[in-house]
Amino acid sequence: MTISLIPVQGLPEIHPGDDLAQIISAHAELAAGDVVVVTQKVVSKAEGRLVAVDPDDPLSHKVHVEAEAVRVLRRRGDLVMTETRHGFVCANSGVDLSNVAEGWAALLPLDPDRSARWIRDGLHARTGLRLGVVVSDTFGRTWRRGVTDVAIGTAGVAGVVDLRGTTDALGRELAVTEVCVADELAAAAELVMGKAAGVPVAIIRGVEPTWLRESSVRAEIVRPYHEDLFR
Amino acid sequence: MTISLIPVQGLPEIHPGDDLAQIISAHAELAAGDVVVVTQKVVSKAEGRLVAVDPDDPLSHKVHVEAEAVRVLRRRGDLVMTETRHGFVCANSGVDLSNVAEGWAALLPLDPDRSARWIRDGLHARTGLRLGVVVSDTFGRTWRRGVTDVAIGTAGVAGVVDLRGTTDALGRELAVTEVCVADELAAAAELVMGKAAGVPVAIIRGVEPTWLRESSVRAEIVRPYHEDLFR
């Protein structure tokens, strides 16, 4: 019943066109049922989602922040909280300068669920193993300080697990029933990655086997506009 | 560098006045540097934070929801999003009927940081080990479906880790620098607890040693009203 969080060490710097599945499988001993968590930054690099910015102008990436947004929710100083085309609400539309070469910024993948599927399918082709993949990114939250990692794309592992109809330890039907397992997997993986450590991939071993199923962050986790009380 | 998430099995039903540190240490093999994550429900039970409700009236706990709140942020049908006296923004002020005997509801601990300290000090007295403790609860989020576990109290393990001044893998100073490690620990622990499994305590083994320090959710994680863009 124990779960292990295993950082994948020694990955090279990722460039546009790189085959992440090939690189990950060459650096990790994978086992059936593993969930592979890959940070957005290396996915964006491999997919060439990079734009040139002026290294002498700390705000020159802001034009891309606006271009990636469908809606601006809040502004305060340089901070812009936007809703992206994917439906994510995050700072600066996810446009980010850290861990990217000077003069460049990384945009979010066009379709992170598809990115996760590509990696999952590539790992399956190389290993024959049934695996889950989570593409993670670092988001702030309302009402709570500090950032945590969340899932922006999934393949082969649940987004939200519905416990409706199951009972609690005392035999009563559960009221709070939908657990966002994918976000908990992303947060757990971050514990062995660390922003500063430069470990962009981690393996989660020992997850509940029923969580390994087809899934989509877009369909399961992104809360539609009309459901939301805080937009 | 691997982190292990270990569920603590076989705990008895918890009653008011029970000594959680004694019960946990009798059921778990602890090691120096472990973080012990304890769900709010058993902490509230041990501290007697239970109120009688009418089992035939599904809304009879709502009077307690109002009493625990300092501010109501949103209402939709039976759902009330409140700010509690602790500064948490959550559904129903954290008042909860699941995993509590029929006819009773559990309130949040009066001071979850203090609850965490009591458990940490009790475990230290019994084992002599330096440990961290996180008291966790299950909260919903804006913009994303499904609930995840977060920290409502900490002792001996960091709330938010400030990476300011450290550099990324390419040697540039990090822009996003404050990681809410305590919430990531709570989310990770939930992966081996499960709402339905009735495992209210988990051990996280192998965390970064520098995270083991004095801390407080109230001081580090609760975002003050005037800082918040979404209240």
Same domain, A54 and A40: no
Q: What is the 3-state secondary structure (H, E, C) of chain B?
A: CCEEEEECCCCCCCCCCCCHHHHHHHHCCCCCCCEEEEEHHHHHHHCCCEEECCCCCCCCCHHHHHHHEEEEEEEECCEEEEEECCCCEEEHHHCECCCCCCCEEECCCCCHHHHHHHHHHHHHHHHCCCCEEEEEEEECCCCECCEEEEEEEEECCCCCEECCCCECCCCCECCCCEECHHHHHHHHHHHHHCCCCCCCEEEEECCCHHHCCCCCHHHHCECCHHHCCCC
pLDDT value for A172: 64
Task: Verify whether the Cβ–Cβ distance B176 to A97 is below 8 Å.
Answer: no
Same domain flag for B153 and B61: no
Confidence of residue A2 (pLDDT cuts 50, 70, 90): very high
Same domain, A66 and A127: no
pLDDT at B57 (0 to 100)? 87
Determine the distance in angstroms separating the CA of B60 from the nearest CA of chain A, rounded to an integer.
15
Q: Is pLDDT at A49 greater than 60 in this prediction? A: yes
Q: Do B228 and A143 touch (CB under 8 A)?
A: yes
Q: What is the pLDDT of residue B169?
A: 64
Clarify whether residues A38 and A115 are in a common domain.
yes
Rounded Cα–Cα distance for residues B94 and A124 (Å): 42
| B211 in reach of chain A (CB within 8 A) | no
- The Cα of B227 is separated from the nearest Cα of chain A by a number of Å equal to 9
Contact B145 A220 (CB under 8 A): yes
pLDDT in tens, A71-93: 999 988 888 999 999 999 999 99
CB pair distance less than 8 Å for B191 and A183: no
**Are the Cβ atoms of A170 and B100 closer than 8 angstroms?**
yes
pLDDT tens-digit readout, B132-146: 999 999 999 999 999
Selected for mutation to probe chain B from A144, A147, A170, A230 (highest B CB count within 10 Å) is A144
Interface contact flag, B98 A174, Cβ < 8 Å: yes
Residue B59 has pLDDT above 70, yes or no: yes
pLDDT at A15: 96
Q: What are the φ and ψ backbone dihedral angles of B133, each rounded to 5 degrees? A: -130, 135
| A177 and A63 fall within a common domain | no
Kindly state whether B2 is in contact with chain A, defined as any CB-CB distance less than 8 angstroms: yes
A175/B96 touch (CB, cutoff 8 Å), yes or no: yes
Q: How far, rounded to the nearest angstrom, does the alpha carbon of residue B216 sit from its chain's CA centroid?
A: 12
Q: Domain of B200: which CATH number? A: 3.30.1330.100
The pLDDT assigned to A60 comes to: 87
Q: Model ipTM? A: 0.94
Asked if residue A23 has pLDDT above 80, the reply is yes
pLDDT band, residue B52 (cuts 50/70/90): very high
Boundary (domain end) residue, out of B91, B108, B125? B108
Dig out the tokens for A28 from the structure: 């990790």
Let me know: does B207 contact A190? Beta carbons within 8 Å: no
Is residue B30 in some structural domain?
Answer: yes
pLDDT in tens, B147-203: 999 999 999 999 999 876 666 666 666 565 799 999 999 999 999 997 656 799 999
Mean pLDDT confidence for A43-55: 95
Q: How many domains, chain A?
A: 2
Identify whether the C-beta of residue A179 lies closer than 8 Å to the C-beta of residue B190: yes
In a domain, B230, yes or no: no
CA A92 to chain centre: 16
Task: Work out the pLDDT band at A144, boundaries 50, 70, 90.
Answer: very high
Tell whether A228 is covered by a domain.
no
CB contact, 8 Å: A106 with chain B?
no
**Least trusted range by pLDDT, from A10-19, A72-81, B3-12, B25-34:** A72-81
Mutation target among A50, A53, A72, A184 for the B interface, most CBs of B within 10 A: A184
Range of the domain at A127: 4-47+109-222
pLDDT recorded at residue B164: 65
- Say if A194 is an interface residue toward chain B (CB within 8 Å): yes
Helices of type H across chain A: 20-27, 40-46, 62-68, 112-127, 181-193, 217-220
Q: A184-206, pLDDT tens digit by residue?
A: 999 999 999 976 567 999 999 99
Q: What is the pTM of this model?
A: 0.95
Is residue B229 assigned to a domain?
no
Q: How far does Cα B83 stand from its chain's mean position?
A: 16
B231 compared with B39, residue with greater pLDDT? B39
Distance, CA of B64 to CA of B48 (rounded, Å): 15
Note whether A75 and A173 are same-domain residues: no
**Which chain A residue has the Cα nearest residue B91?**
A176
pLDDT value, residue B196: 59
Chain centre distance of CA B220: 14
Of residues B3, B145, B177, nearest to A223 (C-beta):
B145
Contacts of B194 in chain A (CB under 8 A): 179, 208
Please tell me whether residues A135 and A200 are part of one structural domain: yes
Mean pLDDT of chain B: 92
Chain segment A100-140, per-residue pLDDT in tens: 888 999 999 999 999 999 999 999 999 999 999 999 999 99
pLDDT of residue A19 exceeding 60, the answer is yes
B97–A contact, CB cutoff 8 A: yes
State the CATH number of the domain containing residue A65. 3.90.1660.10
Tokens of B143: 């913009």
Tens of pLDDT along B207-228?
999 999 999 999 999 998 778 7
Residue A121 C-alpha, separation from nearest chain B C-alpha, in angstroms: 25
Q: Is B166 on the interface with A (CB under 8 A)?
A: yes
State the smallest CA–CA distance between residue B225 and chain A in angstroms. Answer: 8
Identify whether the C-beta of residue B113 lies closer than 8 Å to the C-beta of residue B120. no
Shortest CA distance to B202 belongs to which of B45, B42, B14, B19? B42
